[in-house]
Amino acid sequence: MYTYQYPRPALTADTIILSRDEAGNRVVLLIRRGGEPFAGSWALPGGFVDEGETAIQAAARELEEETGVKLDSPDLLAEIGFYDTPSRDPRGWTVSVAFCVDLPTMPPAKADDDAAEVQWHRLDNLPPMAFDHRKIMDDVIEVLTAES
């Protein structure tokens, strides 16, 4: 067993699922957190990467666990970036990799695992969000704006 002189961060993965509602508005699937930290706050589906899995596998797994949305393949997810502001998670030093997929239709979603609720939100009317998830969404919106 190795011992390390330096602290190491925990690794998490967050998933941005985009689609369009019936009126053609861009929407994102958010969860309402069931537990601390930020219980009751809206957040992106996501969580800790398990030992032996990649960040992209964790993103797809957490999405399915929290929302019931199962992707045909984790490879549908595109990496948006990584987020490592030291104070982003009150539980400690956590680095997150964010992934995104734009689906042609809104899949049905149901809260499960540590999500108390799931809901589609318009990108132009996002609620306050936990962690640094608003920063992640701002980055996604910036990319979408540049593409259009």
Active-site annotation holds for 117? yes
Task: Give every CB contact of residue 116 below 8 A, 6+ residues apart in sequence.
Answer: 31, 32, 33, 34, 39, 40
Instruction: Please give the Cα distance from 48 to 113 (Å, whole number).
Output: 13
Q: Which of 53, 62, 117, 147 is catalytic?
A: 117
Instruction: Please give the Cα distance from 12 to 83 (Å, whole number).
Output: 10
Distance in angstroms between the alpha carbons of the first and the last residue of the chain: 51
CA dist list (Å): 85 to 32, 71, 127 = 22, 29, 21
Task: Give every CB contact of residue 133 below 8 A, 6+ residues apart in sequence.
Answer: 14, 42, 43, 44
Active site residues: 117
